[in-house]
Structure 1
Amino acid sequence: MKICVVSYHSSPLEPIGAGRSGGMNVFTANLYARLARFCTIDIFTYGKSARVPLSGNVNIHYIDKKNHVHFAEEIMQHHMLQRYDIIHTHYWLSGIIGLHLRKVSNIPWIHTFHTIETFKTIKKSKVRIEIEADIMRSCDIILSPTTKEKRALTKHAPRAQVIAIPHGVDTTRFTARVNGSSNLLYVGRIDPIKGLELLIDALRLLDNNLRLDIVGGPSQKQGDLESIKSYAKGMRISFSGPVSHDVLTHYYEHAAMVILPSYYESFGLVALEAMASARPVIGFEDTGLSETVGNRAGILVERNTRELARAIAFLIKNKTARHDLGNRGSKVVKNYDWSRIARVYLKTYEEIAKN
């Protein structure tokens, strides 16, 4: 099987945790590296580099064309040689490429949004909402990481068009470790939608001796980082910037818990990494964490500062609860191992290609 993957705005090889690089990069790098055993995969992204092998039968092709039509035309040139069985676009910007490809090709088209503008609670773009609606109408299949998001999507697309497959985690890299620290950990980009100001407000209600490690860089604007640093002035908060996954494992090892205070989280790969590391997760119950974390591997609360502070205080005071939640999470997360998830994707790709 030959698969065309479009990740227009960001390459799977970009350093994780800053700029445009986040969970989607982790997703594409891990999924397609594992599918390389069964498929030939070309990943197309914007950039000026030469073709770069990712793993086995997976190659990343950089196309130095910002114009979506011209970008799509170059993909079609590859299709004339490769004859792709499936096109899978990731994120709304890649979906625009998919819309142009749909005009000139009947290749089965799968789209994964990763984030959906209309479901966000802050800073909605009307233009993006309209484009995403067009993508929903035009693609053959929408893949969603949670059944919760699938239910929401079926209000905008036919039920049969939406398939839920969870994301995965590398359980050989992120492994259960002894929990001997009281440090709090946040992992992710520094972006208003990630809710760091809510976490800082919650910490102000608690013991001044608590230490928070923030691992990740600014999403797009350096001002976001400077703003949150200013907001946290005088508190025991360290800003480590983006780090490699090998280094990230050490942060999980030294954390008592991982906190994800996002306003919007379609899935939450960081939660899976924390669970694989046997660390309890604290977050909000109206996000995608409700399916991965639930009440098994952490504490999910209503979205307000006091509830967040109570959850943190409870786990700080209760080492047994931290251990039990972390231990349960490390067992649950085995269902999300990338090798297992990749097999589900392969079966889905094969069924869509046949039909």
Structure 2
Amino acid sequence: MEIDYINGLKTDEIFGMSKYQSEIHRRLNNVKLNRIEYPNISKVPGVNKLVECFAYPFIVKKKIVRDNIKHITRQDLAFLLELVDLKKTIVTCHDIIPIAYYNTRNPIWKLNAKGLRKAEKIITVSEFSKKDISKYIKYPEDQIEIIPPAVDHNLYYPNRNRAALKKYRIEETEKVILYVGAEEPRKNIQLLINSFSKLKNKIPQVKLLKVGTPNYLGVREKLLEQIESLNLQKDIIFTGYVSERELAEIYNAVDLFVFPSLYEGFGIPPLEAMACGTPVITSNTSSLPEVVGDAAIVVDPYDADKLVEEMYQLLTDDGLKKEMIRKGLKRSKMFSWDESARKTLRVYKEL
């Protein structure tokens, strides 16, 4: 079986969507991928997006094979279905955040919505996302297949060691809270920083480590202004992008993982933290309760004081910490990339 794998930007960086794509498809035996991508031509924000919108449709049209199943691997490439005649098409739609959360009027996203409606099948990552796709896109639920992300347990497993923190000059005696992800407004990092500031009044020896790139225009500058106004310049550390292996080491080095997002289609980082034996606090919104079950502390992501309270409890109550670690390890093992690959192959065969 050969699949036209319409993947967008060619990149070696691993993040939520690219991780999902690579982990599933390296487990699909006897499936040949005709990768259709466009080159990373610029580090200047927006340039690659212009290539995606105006040149990529021509690349796709030229490189597709008529009888192949077409798999568009990201929802923000669904506009291709409006611009290129594609038959036997599956779209992986992780979420529809621009429509469901930001209420965007972006014309490209109007095209994406129309393109999604033309797909013969949609793969999504959670029951929550399935309901949103049905609600906002008006796409039939019986044509939406849920195939959740998972954790590579050969990489993310308990190997508790603080060595990864040395490069960030964090002392052995300091507690460390970790956040992994983007910096766009729905990620709610401003509230996390405010809560962290209040937590320092209770636990002075604590640091906040933020892993990930500044992917949203102007937000990093606002975060740095907020940090300076709270006099936390020495206590909040931005690592930038890290490799998968280093990320696993960081999960294993920290005391607590906090993920206060307002809206997620799924949310892989809480699962990865659990798999490494790190207790998790996350939001009680969108798909996150579906992801973590009873294996994490879930809080109202608008309640900064409640977040402070829960962080303090997990950092000071060893019994609670051990219980959440135990539950987290068990929960993370429920998500398997092998199972996700089997389900993906079944969708290909059905089409």
Task: State the TM-score bracket (shorter-chain normalisation).
Answer: 0.7 to 0.9
| 1:4 maps to amino acid | D
Cα distance in 2 between the residues matched to 1:212 and 1:64: 32
Counterpart check, 1:95 vs 2:95 = no
Q: Which residue of 1 aligns with 2:32?
A: 40
CA contact (8 A) 1:174 1:273 kept: yes
In terms of mean alpha carbon deviation, does 203-212 or 161-170 score higher?
203-212
Where in structure 2 are the equivalents of 1:48-197 lying within 5 Å?
66=51, 68=53, 71-80=56-65, 83-101=66-84, 104-106=85-87, 108-116=88-96, 117-120=98-101, 122=102, 124-155=104-135, 156-178=138-160, 182-197=175-190
- Tell me how far apart the structure 2 counterparts of residues 265 and 238 of structure 1 sit (CA, whole Å): 24
Matching of residue 225 in structure 1 with residue 220 in structure 2: yes
Aligned to 2:13: 15
What is the deviation of 1:67?
A: 6.4
Aligned 8 A contact 1:69 1:100 in 2: no
The CA deviation at 1:257 is 1.6
2:19 aligns with 26
Q: Which amino acid aligns with 1:190?
A: E
Cα pair 2:176 2:255 within 8 Å, conserved = yes
Matched letter for residue 124 of structure 1: T
Please give the residue correspondences for 1:237-316 in structure 2 after superposition, counting only pairs within 5 Å. 237-295=236-294, 297-304=295-302, 305-316=304-315
Residues 67, 277 of structure 1: CA spacing in aligned structure 2 closer, same or farther, 3 A cutoff?
Answer: closer
- Structure 1 pair 215–70 and aligned structure 2 pair: CA distance change class (3 A): closer
Q: Which amino acid aligns with 1:182?
A: K
* CA RMSD, Structure 1 to Structure 2 (Å): 2.5
- 2:45 — aligned with what? none
Letter in 2 for 1:6: I
Give the 3-state SS of the residue equivalent to 1:205 in structure 2.
Answer: helix
Give the letter for the 2:132 counterpart: A
Please report the TM-score for the alignment, with normalisation by the length of structure 1. 0.83
Unaligned stretches of 5+ residues in structure 2: 42-47, 163-173
SS state at 2:242 partner: coil
Q: What amino acid does structure 2 have at the position aligned with 1:216?
A: G
Structure 1 residues 173 and 3: alpha-carbon distance in aligned structure 2, compared to 1, 3 A threshold: same
Distance 2:115 2:91 in 1: 8
How many angstroms apart in 2 are the aligned matches of 1:199 and 1:87?
41
- Mean CA deviation greater in 329-338 or 83-92: 83-92
Structure 2 residue 330 is the aligned partner of structure 1 residue 348: no
Q: TM-score, normalised by structure 2?
A: 0.84
Deviation at 1:328, TM superposition (A): 1.7
What amino acid is the match of 2:196?
L
List alignment gaps of at least 5 residues for structure 1. 17-21, 50-62
Contact 1:4 / 1:87 at 8 angstroms: preserved in 2? yes
Aligned to 1:2: 2
Cα offsets for 1:250-269 (capped at 9, x unmatched): 21011112111222211111
Q: CA deviation at 1:220?
A: 4.0
Measure the CA separation in 1 of the matches of 2:54 and 2:118: 16
Q: CA deviation at 1:149?
A: 1.7
Alpha carbons 2:80, 2:115 under 8 Å: kept: no
Paired residue secondary structure (1:273): helix
2-structure distance, mates of 1:68, 1:267:
26
Percent identity for Structure 1 against Structure 2: 26
Over 6 Å off, 4+ runs: none
